[in-house]
Structures are given as structure tokens and as C-alpha cells.
Amino acid sequence: MKFSTICILGAPMDFGAGRRGVDMGPSALRKAGLQGKLTGLGYQIQDLGNVFVDQQESMPEGDSRAKFLESIAQSCAGLAAQVAGVIERGSFPLVLGGDHSIAAGTVAGVASAYRRKGQKIGLMWIDAHTDMNTPGTTPSGNVHGMPLACCIGHGPSELTRILGFAPKVDPKNVVLIGIRDVDREERDLVRSSGVSVFTMRQIDEMGLHQVMDRALAIVSDGTDGFHLSLDMDSIDPVEAPGVGTPVQGGMTYREGHLAMEMICDHGSLVSLELVEVNPVLDIANRTAELGVQLVASAMGKKIL
């Protein structure tokens, strides 16, 4: 890794999800020994605390097609500014969610910092879901199902235009891995968008090693590094029960680690976020502990 300092940022967001509790994810990940694991790998760690997120009970839901959009956008804008600042100081931002709506802020911050240098990033999205709904297609109105669409310029301007530009990433440098649950009306945007998708079927047929080889080529083609957005529901719920939208048939424990190890070996990772850890639904903090292990593999932990 080309970074010596990792800056941890918590984003205790639960406005975007349909089930409460994911706002405690950053605390669960810290409690699972994140800082110690990363210090043991030789990094200097700065924990910058949590970005401000309103209390959900005190805020209006707003439009049922994009619930709590104003509050989500405000927190994502603050997160974007902090992430951009971390990169501009030469450090590695590690963002702890919270629900996946925070990615609209994280990716905005990373893309903005590189854009100011005349550079661009790729985006790797490891998830059970494509997260490419818009207010016009969503069956639930939950914004955590929309952030990837926002990153490529589709969706509410409050999220697509964070830090004043859109899209944040070129779809040809975006890859989704582990997909196994896509809403019916969402599929049209996924198919027409230009992003690359590796579903669980491709992982089963090709093997994860070949999938990751292809994915890493896509996110690094003409870019200056890539951001990893890792949703813990990408892992099978047998291994990661503490998520809000579990889907059977996910990646195994070893597949998750292999993906992270290959990302580390590639050497182009410039930022990472881990989302959708819900301690209320977890068993003895198992999902957060696995999340910490996966982050450690992405940041350089080896078997030998």
C-alpha cells in the first residue's frame, strides 16, 4: 500500500434503510478491534470520529419515493468534504457505515479530490444488490437502494450533485460483484448504464479469482485508483447475519477474503467504505468482526 496513515470516519446513517439499528454499525466495527488490527499492519491510525447525522425520529420523512432525502443529502455532503480532505492530506479514508446511502457522500469526496488533480477513479461495488434504483423505480422509497445510480448521475440532484459535479464516476469503470437480488424496474437502468455486473452465477461458473481479475482490470482501466464500497450483505447470511437486507446464496467467508486479498495485491485501492452492519440483528457482533477481518485483508494482512 502506498499510504502510511489511515483516517477512520464513522457515518452512523440509518435514514436510508428500512430497518433500524444500522446507525450503530460504526461503534460495532470499532468495538471489534478495527484500530488494533490496522495498527498491527504498520499503519498510523487517526480516528476522526463520526460525521453528524440527524436523529431520525425528529426529522420529517418527506417524499415517500426518496424518504428522508434532505437529511441524507446534508450528512453525505459533510462526509464528502471530510473524505476529500483526508485524501488531499495524503491519507487513506476508511468510512464505516451506516446504511449504503452514505456512498453518495464517500464517492463524491474521493472523486472530487482526484478531479482537482485532473485524475479520475474507478468504483468497485461488492453487494447483494445493485443499488441502482431511482425515485421513479424504487418499490420502497429507501435511499440505501439508490446510491450507485447517484454516483453515475441518475437520481435526485441533492445526491447526484454533491460537491457540484456529476457523474462522480464513469460507468465504464464501475463494476458490481456478488449481485443476487435486483428489483424488477431497476434492471433497465442496470442493463443500459454501462456498468459491469458479476452476479453470483458468474462467481459460481467462473470462480471468484477470474471474476476479480476482470473486475480489477475494469476499475483500473485509465483511472488513478479505485474506491471499494463493501456491503456486508454481499457475504452469505450464515457468515454475516447482522445486516438489514440479507439474501441467501452469498459469497463465502473465504471468497470474501480472497476478494480483499486480490484487491490489496493489485495496489490501486485509494479508499474504502464498509456498510450495512446492523448490531441489532447480529449474533455476538459476528458480522462486525468479519467486517474488520475483511478490511484487514484489503489493507495487507497475509496468511504468511
Active site (annotated) includes residue 257:
no
Active site (annotated) includes residue 209:
no
286-298 vs 253-266: helix crossing angle, rounded to 10? 30
Catalytic residue among 233, 261, 273, 289: 233
Written as nine digits, the cell of 92 is: 487513506
Q: Are 287 and 250 in contact (CB under 8 A)?
A: no
Residue 192 φ/ψ, nearest 5 degrees: -95, -10
Distance CA 12, CA 10 (A): 6
Active site (annotated) includes residue 47:
no
Helices (H), 57-146: 69-88, 103-115
Active site (annotated) includes residue 227:
no
Active site (annotated) includes residue 239:
no
Is beta strand 269-275 parallel, antiparallel or unpaired with respect to 5-11?
unpaired
Catalytic residue among 186, 276, 282, 289: 276
- Per the listing, cell 434492471 goes with 187
Q: Left (φ > 0), alpha (ψ -120 to 50) or beta: where does 177 sit? A: beta
Catalytic residue among 14, 99, 127, 255: 127
Catalytic residue among 14, 23, 99, 131: 131
Catalytic residue among 23, 99, 129, 227: 129
Catalytic residue among 14, 99, 100, 154: 100
Catalytic residue among 144, 154, 227, 257: 144
Active site (annotated) includes residue 127:
yes
Exposure b/e, 74-107, CB count within 10 A at least 16 = b: bbbbbbbbbbbebbeeebbbbbbbbbbbbbbbbb
Gyration radius (Cα) of the chain, Å: 17
Distance CA 54, CA 28 (A): 19
- Active site members: 100, 127, 129, 131, 144, 231, 233, 276
